[in-house]
Amino acid sequence: MVKKVLKFGGTSVGTTERIQIVAKIIQKERSLGNKIIAIVSAMAGKTNDLIKLSEEITNEFNKRELDVLLSSGEQVTSALLSGALIKLNIKAKSWLNWQIPILTDGDHANSRIITMHVEKINKYLDDGGVSIIPGFQGISKFGDVTTIGRGGSDATAVAVAKIFNADSCEIYTDVDGVFSTDPNKIPVAKKIDSISYDEMLELSSLGAKVMQSSAVQTAMMYDIPLEVRSTFTERKGTKIINKEKIDYTKSVTGVAYSKNDAKITIVGVEDRPGVAANIFEPLSKAQINVDMVIQNISSDQKTTDITFTVKRDDVSKTKQILKDNSKINYKEIIKNDRVAKVSIVGAGMVTTPGVTYKMFRALSDVGINILAISTSEIKLSVIIQENNILQAIKKLHTTFDLD
């Protein structure tokens, strides 16, 4: 008998009709003799609706109470799915975060799961029941309801798979699996049959919305087999596996993009030891995530220009912190909040020469200027003007034979 964790995202449970489709998927798995723990998200759009309600009260809604409010979306789905299973004569029960409990650590809205009590749920599974657990939430050592960040149901599913020693973890969504790029933007994008944890982690962190990056990272650490598949078709999905099992004949696996980036350049910074630390330390303390960093030293080696990227929402805050920083001297600050990041990802890039050249030549051929560059062993990212994003994705997708 196989123990499976099945996670259903917001679009999969977006209506009561879809919840009944999910119930039939679980019914089929149960008929095969599998033990099932289902993790559910809030119905599509519900979390945003709850945030809007809080904003009608105040834009500075208490964080503890916001966690209580937002966690209610997944609780609703848990009850509805349990009810749909009971209607199919399947023994089922929803378990709220405090009933298990799911123990978390960290701040409200950004907690992480530490452990869960397994005895009650394991006994329920042994007795033939299906356990439904709300994703995205837990309970602190103080007994407060906590949430683990948007998209946190993926993290819950992987944590459950690890803690309950599940044989597999399947992520159900509204697409057939992981694609070479966004199929909504590029219709010729193709489904990837298998992808390494490393590649999936890069794609997730670079803007691919199929899985939360922290969930992929946890699965990679504990070698938990993952599969992304559709709730609405019976086609095989994408398996996310150890890199030792990956075919490296293709240099590039996918093209990812994000449009919420901004580029900031500090012009004429005094070039001396410690200046970079003085610039980025206060940004770190303000919880501003800095991505690409480029430094150009002047010919007289007395000043330097430092360019870096941050999320678009952090631009104003970043500029103010830089202006208030008495430890740095500079001529001016230039911002560009109409940029986008395009990345190619592939484990085969490590052993394939010429990938960098091909990417740069491809963008040059369609007249796209590169504003910043960042590389790793299996990733190459560039910053370009936002209005060139679709053209860049199409060109790179074709250049690396992904159509």
- The CATH number assigned to the domain holding 139 equals 3.40.1160.10
**Domain shared by 169 and 283, yes or no:** no
- Whether residue 220 is contained in a domain is answered as no
pLDDT at 250: 76
Predicted confidence band of residue 264 (pLDDT cuts 50, 70, 90): very high
Predicted confidence band of residue 136 (pLDDT cuts 50, 70, 90): very high
- The mean pLDDT value of the chain amounts to 92
**Does 204 score more than 90 pLDDT?**
no
Quick check: helix, strand or coil at residue 115? Answer: strand
pTM for this prediction:
0.84
Q: Which residues contact 215 (CB under 8 A, 6 or more apart)?
A: 154, 155, 157, 158
If you write DSSP's letter for every residue of 216-270 in order, what string do you get? HHHHHHHT--EEEEESS--S--EEEE-GGG---SSS--EEEEEEEEEEEEEEEEE
β-sheet with 194-196: strand ranges across? 92-94, 130-134, 35-40, 3-8, 168-173, 226-230, 238-241, 194-196
Task: Tell me what percent of the residues of the chain surpass a pLDDT of 70.
Answer: 98
Q: What is the pLDDT of residues 273-326, one digit of tens each?
A: 898 999 999 999 998 999 889 888 776 678 889 999 999 999 999 999 999 998
Q: What is the CATH number of the domain that holds 369?
A: 3.30.2130.10
Task: Tell me what percent of the residues of the chain surpass a pLDDT of 90.
Answer: 74
Domain end among 149, 174, 199:
174
**Domain shared by 144 and 273, yes or no:** no
Arithmetic mean of pLDDT, 246-275: 87
Which structural domain range is residue 41 located in?
Answer: 3-174
**Domain shared by 387 and 286, yes or no:** yes
- Whether residue 70 is contained in a domain is answered as yes
**Does 345 score more than 80 pLDDT?**
yes
CA atoms of 347 and 249, how far apart (whole Å): 10
- Whether residue 395 is contained in a domain is answered as yes
CA atoms of 322 and 318, how far apart (whole Å): 6
- Whether residue 179 is contained in a domain is answered as no
Is 227 within 8 Å of 200 (Cβ atoms)? no
**Domain shared by 161 and 259, yes or no:** no
Q: Which residues contact 351 (CB under 8 A, 6 or more apart)?
A: 248
**Does 207 score more than 80 pLDDT?**
no
- Whether residue 204 is contained in a domain is answered as no
Domain end among 159, 174, 189:
174
- Whether residue 201 is contained in a domain is answered as no
**Lowest mean pLDDT across 19-28, 45-54, 245-254:** 245-254
CA atoms of 22 and 5, how far apart (whole Å): 13
Q: Please tell me which residue, 287 or 254, carries the higher pLDDT value.
A: 254
pLDDT at 10: 95
Peptide bond into 101 cis (omega under 30): yes
**Lowest mean pLDDT across 124-128, 133-137, 145-149, 247-251:** 247-251
**Domain shared by 24 and 146, yes or no:** yes
**Domain shared by 264 and 367, yes or no:** yes
**Does 80 score more than 90 pLDDT?**
yes
**Domain shared by 165 and 276, yes or no:** no
Arithmetic mean of pLDDT, 65-93: 97
Q: Kind of pairing, strands 379-385 and 372-376?
A: antiparallel
* Number of domains into which the chain is organized: 2
Domain end among 156, 174, 192:
174
User: How many secondary structure helices (H) and strands (E) does the chain include?
Assistant: 11, 18
